[in-house]
Structure 1
Amino acid sequence: MGQGGDNTRAALIMTLSMAGYALNDTCLKALGEDLPLGQVLFLRGALTSALIGGWVMWHGLWRVRLSGSDWGRVALRTLGEVAAAFFFISALFHMPLANATAILQVLPLTVSLAAALFLGDTLGWRRVSAIAVGFCGVMLIVQPGASGFNSYTLYALLAVAAITLRDLSTRRLDGSVPTMIVVLFGSLGVMCLGGALGPGEVWLALDVRATFLLIASALFILAAYVCSVAVMRIGDVAAVAPFRFTGLLWALVLGYLAFGEFPEPVTLIGASIVVATGAFTFYRERAVSRQE
C-alpha cells in the first residue's frame, strides 16, 4: 500500500483512538454521578493496569531493560499522568464534557512552548504567533470572570500543564522503550492515587450500571492506547496529527447525547481558534523538522 493509503488508514485509526478517549471520558463522567473520585480512579486504574499488563506479558515486553536515565523519565512521566488524571477527571465531574475536552486541545501549543523553554527547541515567529492566538482562544473557552468560571475550570488548565509535563518526559525517552510499558506505569500510578484518596472518602458498593461503566471505560482507554501506538507506526505524523482534534467532535456529540450538554457559541468559537492554531503548529513543526 502506498503512503497515501497508509495515511488514510492511519487517519481512520487516529479518529477511532480519539473516539476511545471520548467514550472513556463519557463513562468516567457518568460514574462521577454515583461514586467518589478516589474509588473511580482506583477501580478504573486497576482494570486498565490488568489489561495493559496482560498485553505487556503477551508480547514479552516485560523483558526490556531500562537505563537509569529512562527510569527517571518514566517516573516523571508517571507523575504527570497521575496529576493529569486527578485534575482532569475532577474537572470532568463538574463541567460539560465538551468544555473540558476543548481546553485540552491547547496541548500542541503548550508542548511546543514548553519544548522551546526547557528542551532548547527553536520557535519561529509563525509558531509564536499561533501560540499567542491559541491562548486567546483558550480565554474564550474558560471565560475568566464569567459565571461559569470556577475552580474546576482551573483544574482543567492544571491538567493541561500536567499532560505537557508527561509529553515532554515522553519525548526524552529512548526510542527502544516500549510504549505500553510506559503506559502501564502511568496506569499503576493512577491506581495508587485512587487508593491514597480512599481513606478520605466513603466508597460505595457497585451496582450493575457502575460495573458496566467501569469495564467499558477500561476497554475504551485500552483501545485508544493501542490505536495511538498503531498510528505512529503507519502514517506520516504531519498528515495524521490534525485528526487528533476529532476528539472535540466526539466530545460534542457524546456530551449532548449522554448529558444533554452543548457549549455556548463563544466556547465553540474559542475551541475553533485553538484547533486551528494547534493544527498549524503541528504543520510548522513538521516543516521545520524536514528542513533540519
Structure 2
Amino acid sequence: MMARLRISEGFAAPAWIIASSLLFAVAWTFIKLAGQDIHPFEVVFWRCLIGSAILMPFVIAGKVRMPLSRLGGHAMRATSGIIAMFATFYALANAPIATVQAITFAAPVFATFGAFLFLGEKVRFRRMAALAVGFAGVLYVLQPGAEPLTPGILAAIVATIATAFTTIAIKRLVGFDHPNTVVAWSFVLPILPALIVSLFVWSWPQPLTWVYLLLTGAFTLGGQTAMVRAFSLADATAIMPYDFVRFGFIVGIGVLVFGDVLRPEVLIGGGIILASAIYLAYREAQLSRRGPASTPRVT
C-alpha cells in the first residue's frame, strides 16, 4: 500500500504539469484567434480581468485567500509574469504557434539553472540529461538560422527569459502561500498595468472575439492553477521537463486549427522531446519508490 501511495505521489506533480500544458495549449489557440481582431496587449488585459472575475466568487466565499503578508513577492512575480504575457501574446499574433512554442521551451533550461542558483535545489544528472535531450529536440524542430528574426520571434525570446524568472518566483512563493493564493494574485495584480498599456492600442472586440477572450481567461486560469499546484508538490527541476509535452498539443493545434504545414523536423524533434519526458517520468517513479519526496508540501 505504501509503495502504491508513493508511486501516485511521484506522478502527482507530472500529472499537474501535463494538465497545465494541455490547458495552456488550448488557451494559446484562443489567444492567437483573439489577436487576429484586437491588439495582443489588449488580450492580456482581458485575460487578467476575466480570470479575476472567475476567481472573485471563490475569494468572497473564503475558498481562495489573498493575504497581504507577501504582497511584495507576488508583485515581483506579477512583474515578470506580465512581461512574459505581453511578449508571448505578441509572439503568438505575429509568428507561427509551433515556432513560438519551440523557442519558449528554452524557459525550463533557464529556470533549472535559476532554481539551482537562487533556490538551492539539487539538480540530478539525469534531470539535467532529460532537459538537455528535450531542448535538443526543440532546436532540431526550430532549425536555427532557418527562421528569420522577426519581431514575433524576438518577442518569443523575451517571453522565454521572463517565463524563467516567473517560474523561479512561483516556486519561492508556493513555499509559503497556498497555490491558489499565488494564482489569484497573478491575475489581479497585472490588471491595472495591462489596462494602461492596452489603452494606447485599444479597439473593441467583435462578438466572436468576446467568446475567444472568455475562453482565454478560463483556460489560462486552469493552466495557472495546475502549474502552480505542480510547483507546490515537487522541485522545479523535477517537473519542468514534462512541460515539453505541450509541444505535441501545440503542433496538433497548429495543423488542425491554423493549417500549419507539419515538417519532418517537427515530427522527429517532437519524438525526441516526448521520449525525454517519458524517460523522466519513469526515473522519477523509481525515485518515489525509494522514499518519500523531500520537498515540502503546501496544504
Partner of 1:266: 265
* Cα distance in 2, alignment partners of residues 113 and 171 from structure 1: 13
Instruction: Structure 1: state its 5+ residue gaps.
Output: none
* Cα distance in 1, alignment partners of residues 281 and 11 from structure 2: 18
User: Number of paired residues?
Assistant: 288
Cα deviation for residue 105 of structure 1 reads 3.1
Query: Residue 59 of structure 2: SS of its match in structure 1?
Result: helix
Q: Cα gap change, 1:259/1:36 in structure 2, threshold over 3 Å: closer, same or farther?
A: same
Cα deviation for residue 173 of structure 1 reads 2.3
Of the three residues 32, 36, 43, the one matched with 2:46 is 43
Partner of 1:23: 26
User: Structure 1 length normalisation: TM-score?
Assistant: 0.79
Range moving further from structure 2, 281-290 or 28-37: 281-290
Give the share of equivalent positions with the same residue, in percent.
Answer: 26
How does 1:26-175 map onto structure 2 within 5 Å? 26-62=29-65, 64=67, 66=69, 70-123=70-123, 126-127=126-127, 134-173=134-173, 175=175
Q: Cα gap change, 1:77/1:241 in structure 2, threshold over 3 Å: closer, same or farther?
A: closer
Q: Cα gap change, 1:260/1:86 in structure 2, threshold over 3 Å: closer, same or farther?
A: same
* Cα distance in 2, alignment partners of residues 220 and 78 from structure 1: 18
Residues 1:216 and 2:219 are matched in the alignment: no
Amino acid of the structure 2 residue aligned with 1:21: F
* Cα distance in 2, alignment partners of residues 282 and 110 from structure 1: 21
Cα deviation for residue 88 of structure 1 reads 0.9
Query: Residue 173 of structure 2: SS of its match in structure 1?
Result: coil
Range moving further from structure 2, 129-138 or 4-13: 4-13
Conservation of the 8 A alpha-carbon contact between 1:87 and 1:158: yes
Conservation of the 8 A alpha-carbon contact between 1:38 and 1:196: no
Q: Cα gap change, 1:249/1:279 in structure 2, threshold over 3 Å: closer, same or farther?
A: same
Cα deviation for residue 210 of structure 1 reads 0.7
Query: Residue 177 of structure 1: SS of its match in structure 2?
Result: coil
Deviations 1:64-121 (A, max 9, x none): 452xxx3332222111211110111111111222222233333332221122233344
Conservation of the 8 A alpha-carbon contact between 1:18 and 1:247: yes
* Cα distance in 2, alignment partners of residues 285 and 179 from structure 1: 22
User: Structure 2 length normalisation: TM-score?
Assistant: 0.77
* Cα distance in 2, alignment partners of residues 78 and 227 from structure 1: 17
Which structure has more relative contact order (CA 8 Å, sep 6+)? It is 1
Alpha-carbon RMSD across the aligned residues, in angstroms, is 3.8
* Cα distance in 2, alignment partners of residues 172 and 236 from structure 1: 10
Deviations 1:212-269 (A, max 9, x none): 1111111222233344466678999999876544322221222212111134333444
* Cα distance in 2, alignment partners of residues 280 and 22 from structure 1: 22
Conservation of the 8 A alpha-carbon contact between 1:98 and 1:251: yes
Range moving further from structure 2, 229-238 or 99-108: 229-238
Amino acid of the structure 2 residue aligned with 1:198: S
Query: Residue 102 of structure 2: SS of its match in structure 1?
Result: helix
Q: Cα gap change, 1:130/1:77 in structure 2, threshold over 3 Å: closer, same or farther?
A: same
Query: Residue 205 of structure 1: SS of its match in structure 2?
Result: coil
Amino acid of the structure 1 residue aligned with 2:259: G
